[in-house]
Amino acid sequence: MSPDTTAIDPAASAVIARNLTLTGKRGYVFGPLDLDIAPGTLTVLQGPQGSGRTALLLTLAGRMKPDRATEDLWVLGHALPDERTKVQHLAAIAGFDGIDQLDGSVTVGDVLHERIGLLTPWYKRQPKLTPRRYAQLAAPVFGGRPLPALGTIVWDLDEVDALLLRITIALLQRPRLLVVDDLDQVHDAAGRAFVWQRLEALARSSEAAPAENSSENPEPTPAGENGASDGPPPAGEQSQAGEHEPAGEQHRAVDDHASGLGLATGSLAVIAAVASATEPATIAWANGAPAVVAIERSASYAERIKPNSPSEGN
C-alpha cells in the first residue's frame, strides 16, 4: 500500500484507512470505510449486532486481515496487513468475547500476575504484585472507583469492575492503540457512562500506559515473545482483607503516577464499540463529544438473519 503523502501522514496518525473492506463467504462483513483517527483521542464505533464492528476493531488491531480491495490501511505508522506483527505489539484489545475473557474461578491477583509474567522478559525476575504495585497499575484505569482487592474472585466482580480489569490488563503491554469491544456488556447505563468517562480520560492523559518502573525493568516484551513466569506470587503478596484495597494505598499510587513513576511515553488512541446510536449524547464528556463512526448492518447479514429464523428464536 502506498499512501498519498500529500494528503495523509501515517506516522502522525493513529489510524488512516481508505476504502477499508472485509468480506466473507456470505458477503460484506464491513466497509468500505474511510477513517482518520488521531493519537490521544477517543473514537466511538457505533453499530448494531451484525454490523461487523468486532471484526473492524480486530482488523485495526492487526488481528484480522482486510480485503485486498482496501486501498490504504495504516495503524500507528505501519501498513496493514504487511506489518501486522508490529501493530499487534502496539495495539491492545479488551472486552472481546472469547478472546480476552477472564477465568472466573481465579483471583484478580492471579490474572494480573499471569499477564505480567507473559510480558516480563525471560532474563528478568518477575516483579512481585504487591498491593502498592497493583494500585499503581490499576488506579489510572479505575479513576476514583475503589479497586477490587487482589484476593477477589473474578466471578464476584460486577460488570464495571470486570471490564475495567480487562482494560487494565490490556494496558500492561503499554500500547499506543486500545480497542474495546461491546460496552453494552455493562448493562447499567450509569456504570457504562463511567467506563466511557474513564476511556476518555485514558485517551487524553499520560496515565494511559501504566507500566513497571522503567528504572527497574526494561520495556515489556509482547506476549508470546520469550515470555516467562516465575510461578505464583509468594504467599501473603495478594491482599485478602476487605472488599477493596485501602484508600491510602490507592491514593499513594496515584501520586506516584503524577510524578512520572512507570509511565510510558506517547499518546494513546482509544476506539470503543457500542450498539446504541444515541448513547454518546447521554454521556457527560469532560473534553467535548468524541468522534463517532457509525456502521450499519450489512445486507448480507439481513439476508442470513430473518424473522423467526432459528438464530433469532421463535
Per-residue model confidence as pLDDT tens for the chain (314 residues) = 444 544 667 878 999 999 999 998 878 899 899 999 999 999 999 998 889 999 999 999 999 999 988 899 999 999 999 999 999 999 999 999 999 999 999 999 999 999 999 998 888 888 889 999 999 999 999 999 999 999 999 999 999 999 999 999 999 999 999 999 999 999 999 999 999 999 999 998 744 445 444 333 434 333 333 333 333 333 333 333 334 444 444 433 333 333 232 334 468 999 999 999 999 999 999 989 999 999 987 665 545 444 444 444 43
Residue 297 is assigned to a structural domain of this protein: yes
Residue 193 is assigned to a structural domain of this protein: yes
The total domain count for the chain is 1
On the 0-12 / 13-18 / 19+ scale of CB atoms within 10 A, 146 is middle
Q: Count CA atoms closer than 13 A to 125's CA, side-chain side.
A: 5
Residue 5 is assigned to a structural domain of this protein: no
Residue 144 is assigned to a structural domain of this protein: yes
H helix runs in 122-158, sequence order: 131-142
Cα 283 to Cα 67, 149, 163, 245, 288, distances in angstroms? 35, 28, 18, 28, 10
pTM as predicted: 0.77
Domain that holds residue 270: 10-304
Angle, vertex CA 268, rays to CA 207 and CA 199, nearest 5: 70
Cα torsion through 12, 14, 16, 17, rounded to 10: 170
Cα 251 to Cα 71, 146, 151, 210, distances in angstroms? 48, 10, 19, 15
The identity of residue 76, as a single letter, is: L
The identity of residue 115, as a single letter, is: R
Residue 311 is assigned to a structural domain of this protein: no
- Calculate the CA 231 to chain-centre distance: 26
The SS3 assignment for 294 reads strand
Residue 4 is assigned to a structural domain of this protein: no
Residue 312 is assigned to a structural domain of this protein: no
CATH of the domain at 23: 3.40.50.300
pLDDT computed for residue 50 by the predictor = 84
Residue 258 is assigned to a structural domain of this protein: yes
